[in-house]
Amino acid sequence: MAAAPGDAPGEPPPAAAAGLESRQRLHPLSPLLNGAKSIVVIIAALSWQTYGQLGAAHFAIVVAVLAVGVVIFSAVGWWNTGYHVVGRELRIAEGLVWRRNRAIPLDRLQAVELRRPLLAQLTGLAELRLEVVGGGKTEAPLAYLTVREAAILRERLLALSGRTPAPHPGATTADPAAHAAAPPAEAPLYRVRNQDLLISQLLTPQALFLPVGIAWVSTQFLMEGSWTFIGIASTVTAMAGVLLQPIRRVLQDWNFRAAHDQDRRLVLHYGLLETRNQVVPLHRVQTVRVIWPLLWRRKRWLNLRLDIAGYSGPEPGDDKSSDRLMPVGDIGTARALVAAVLPGVDLATLATSPPPARARWLHPFALRFHGAGLTPDVFVSRWGRVTRELSMVPYARLQSVRVVQGPLQRRLGLATVYADTAGGRAGIARDRDLAEAWALAEQLAVRARQARGLTTAPPATGPATPPPVPVASASPPAPVPPGAVAPGAIAPAGWYPPSGPGAPDDEAYWQRPSPS
């Protein structure tokens, strides 16, 4: 069906696809919505100057002509865009002049996000964004579908993306409508209090400097008496870029909710003007980071972030990326959430050991906030004096392990161990004793192998199973070395020596060598 003009080239042979499903279009309103965005851009580009030259009537005509042009252009694009699911692939065809057919293998799907910008909310539409590894940006945003369609498609894609072939083989054809007819039951995990969110964003450097900035700018103007429009506009825009970040964050994280769906995937809802609804299978979580900003410390608040392979690397302005797990909350909430995302991990019992005392030469102030530790499920590392951070990398997600030793470290007999993940961030054990670094690297490699073996061997269990626990040592936890853990929000409840089959038998690596 949908014999779009010029359908033939590059299209997969119909015999392969026809038996399964026909190509589907996006929602007919999408060109209007896409056009609306462009119209704003056009108006901005035309600027006040043109308005002054043309007069209101002509200006309106110009805008209207351009708007119609844009909408026609988007409509042509819409007519030639289609998607369909073939086997375990999502195929998206688009373009009139440059045709592009893209096949997305669903077993590589990392997360699916349903975004609804303001206009889409008004019209009951949604944009479906798929995160795939290797894409520098979000691949294949399907904009727009009706919310119902998008939800059905998402369920179906996620079902297909599971490690097992879809539980009901009929799902590839027409079944999913029934599946999605009943809204998926969600077990709520956490919900941010909007009041806390507001306060937490007031407690950011930008918000605190806002009055200072305003005062400075106004005195500047009062002193010089130069109230030119350009001057004010440029100052305001310059300040807005930085200072409005807290406001943007409040808008984005408004009404943040986390839940488990019936397949124990993580579901996140948030946003005020643009709502986002993100579904992340738990086995796609690459790293969980805990951040204690300086200004939140009195409130005992912290912040959880989630790294998923599709969302490319560390971005400077991380407003766009969807990596939040908890915008603000206390340690109890964080514990519960971490336990839900990384089953078997208790945030309050993550023991880390500090680097040897001689690393003080490299970190004169922050040494006691550095640490690394191997727990049964995750590799923990922590750092930071002012903003304290802690990252947890599940062993099963490790891509590679690196040991790096710089010239200064060599003089001191230290080395840094990196545990790389596909999320772009690594768990980093900084400045460990060299022998300990080797042992740590070896342990990480061994544990990653075991964890992988356990996750891949029983393919039927799916994401619901707790991540593998390398058979925990039967020996009682050894006493915590004095001063092993920074007196931060986390109290050590146990000290895990390296354990499990294949572990080197010398636990001496973990008893800190006496400073020589």
220 touches another protein by CB under 8 A = no
| For residue 270, cis peptide bond before it (omega within 30 degrees of 0) | no
138 touches another protein by CB under 8 A = no
157 touches another protein by CB under 8 A = no
426 touches another protein by CB under 8 A = yes
Considering only residues 63, 133, 199, 291, which one is a binding residue for another protein as defined by CB under 8 A?
Answer: 133
Task: List the alpha helices (DSSP H) in 6-165.
Answer: 14-18, 30-54, 56-79, 118-123, 147-161
Q: Minimum distance between the CB of residue 284 and another protein, rounded to whole angstroms?
A: 7
Considering only residues 76, 86, 357, 403, which one is a binding residue for another protein as defined by CB under 8 A?
Answer: 403
∠ CA 243-388-377, rounded to 5°:
125
424 touches another protein by CB under 8 A = yes
250 touches another protein by CB under 8 A = no
CA-based nearest residue to 265, from 166, 335, 347, 161: 161
CA-based nearest residue to 473, from 498, 441, 436: 498
Structure tokens at 309: 């392979």
19 touches another protein by CB under 8 A = no
d(CA 515, CA 410): 16
CA atoms lying within 13 Å on the CB side of residue 362: 23
Q: Minimum distance between the CB of residue 279 and another protein, rounded to whole angstroms?
A: 17
Considering only residues 442, 462, 480, 500, which one is a binding residue for another protein as defined by CB under 8 A?
Answer: 442
**Binding span for another protein by CB under 8 A among 169-177, 249-257, 291-299, 500-508:** 500-508
d(CA 486, CA 383): 10
Specify the residue, 252 or 443, whose C-beta has the smaller distance to another protein: 443
501 touches another protein by CB under 8 A = no
∠ CA 424-429-433, rounded to 5°:
150
Specify the residue, 367 or 414, whose C-beta has the smaller distance to another protein: 414
Angle, helices 30-54 vs 56-79, to 10°: value is 160
∠ CA 343-347-352, rounded to 5°:
115
422 touches another protein by CB under 8 A = yes
Is 315 strand, coil or helix? Answer: coil
| Contact letters for another protein, residues 293-332 (x by CB under 8 A) | ----------------x---x-------------------
392 touches another protein by CB under 8 A = no
Distance between first and last Cα of the chain: 77
Tell me the number of residues near another protein by CB under 8 A. Answer: 49
91 touches another protein by CB under 8 A = no
Specify the residue, 246 or 356, whose C-beta has the smaller distance to another protein: 356
Specify the residue, 417 or 490, whose C-beta has the smaller distance to another protein: 417
DSSP state for residue 167 in the 8-state scheme: S
Specify the residue, 441 or 490, whose C-beta has the smaller distance to another protein: 441
Is 290 strand, coil or helix? Answer: strand
d(CA 489, CA 491): 7
Q: Which stretches of the chain bind another protein, using CB under 8 A?
A: 107-108, 110, 133-134, 163, 284, 286, 309, 313, 397-407, 410, 415, 418, 420-422, 424, 426, 433-436, 438-439, 441-442, 444-445, 448-449, 452, 456, 505-509, 513
